[in-house]
Structure 1
């Protein structure tokens, strides 16, 4: 256990991952501490360590009695709190080793362990939990937070998960979080037409709508697909996808929790999402869209490519005299390269400033005409832009493969 902790603190460890691991360990140690000795038979620890934990448990009970049976407030370091570390090194070794062993289990076994432990746990308002639930909601990894939240829902159906609220419940994943055959990186910002069509047809008895609000719906579905394999909150999943925080509000593009969108509509939302997740998992090739977004972040359409388009298109009025079209075309290509929303293209946005440009109705019309060309001229322009995207992507994949070969 000591070597494991030192590995988490090594310079080669990812800081955010290590931070989550320590928080997960703290929370699970509190649960083990609160329910001891109900996991004693399954620990396989030397007797000297379990005996030290027995002694620690007895000391906690004695400390609680010393304050008249009233647990101290959550922020204290009183030894009767389950979130307070043991005073003996042997008891600490036992507690952390047991907690770490539980956390290393496969997800389905972890759920069984939590269910077994929480059968003997008091309700979350008990002050002996100390800072446990603050740590869970603020610092723990998304997957562990999700599993513990759900375990408490099963144990105490009338309560919110520890430290959560109505808002947290509404922004939780609609379908269960588990391994699904794809990774969060395989989900694009902008849901492809094929995926949206499948989702719509699976939402019987009524198909999902296609309207100006479809982009907001696609965002919400992409966020849900990330949540379904990570347990992230809605805002965390949106940040993972690179969706600006201000897009989570009422303007300019709302990302409503799907439960609120469809709570009064005849859609099978959960069933449709399950079918879409299965479809993504069955794809012969999984694309790392997150890596593409990062790799093409500084990209822009070259002047040479633009001039070639101007020379090739049969009717050049569209491209020669329209500066707005010149601005939108790189965004269209970038969205094809990265599976992202065109409004987030680097040609529009200053570094680290998603609010850097106001989009007009004409911008949206240009992108729409490129996506679904209304005539031969628009189709010619769109085809040339798609060819540019394919060339850039093929070149990037060759370089990426060469770097991987050198690295290996």
Structure 2
């Protein structure tokens, strides 16, 4: 055997012995006839890399302890909180730059509001009192939470101004949209999401039941929570006692159609419910209709008045509404007392002026269309009235929330 081969054989034997020593947990001292660890590691022969199953030890310097990293989450700015009484004194003492640094969230909201109202085709409007951040902060105060946004309770009023908006969270904003589904049950009116919280029924379940046109009694029959079921409150407050020989209820003046409420009469308390029902009914997928808000309001209010008339007839008070001239003078006090105790009478006379306003606006729209025709008809308005009566008779709908059922295919 040559010298080179003998040296290689000796190296292999030494490596095998070292592997067995490590495997059986032998002491670090080398056995007799074997080489030390340092000698084995530093063997200048390439055959070790090809034959040895032992990975040579590599001595490295001690690893330095890693420094604790700072959190990369940016700090969310927030406004300093002051009451409405204190905010005035704070604003007077600080400059505009100091106000921006102390109330950064409110300043960002005010800046975005100005940019939104300055757009060319923006429907939103900014009140002059909110032009400066100082006055804006004086009326609304600092934001209670960094996620708070501006909300207008009246969604039909495009103006952001004093008394017309306030700070609200995302949940309050979601419950104040014109596209929400409103449900009236047991005298309470809430959105579908609010009913899910009140009744304990999942939102998806209520949505499916509403899409399947279930009645309210069937929708909430299995509700685990029943604390919301209160006695229905009267929408119209009881009247003051009338003078002897006179009637308490009379048809009031016809209100004008508002210019900023998207076509609903001024002072109409149910305009949000009617607007929601109108959008839900006329903007369904696959539905094509030319019905205007005045036509929609006249249809719903007319159907409601017909239903109230049946209740009034059942109470024996039809003469109070339609035949007052036939009531003797000595019987006015008795029938007026009975009428004050009838909720249908109160609702009838509260809704009647707005119904007249709807009809007038609907006829005015018809006259404009008739005037643009090449051959205007002198009986166009009469035809509109007859069509409205037929609509109320064939498709009576006293609730705007259920109007979409008559448009669905």
The alignment's TM-score, normalised by the length of structure 2, stands at: 0.21
Task: Determine which structure has the larger helix proportion and give its number.
Answer: 1
Task: Determine which structure has the larger strand proportion and give its number.
Answer: 2
Higher Cα Rg: structure 1 or 2?
Answer: 2
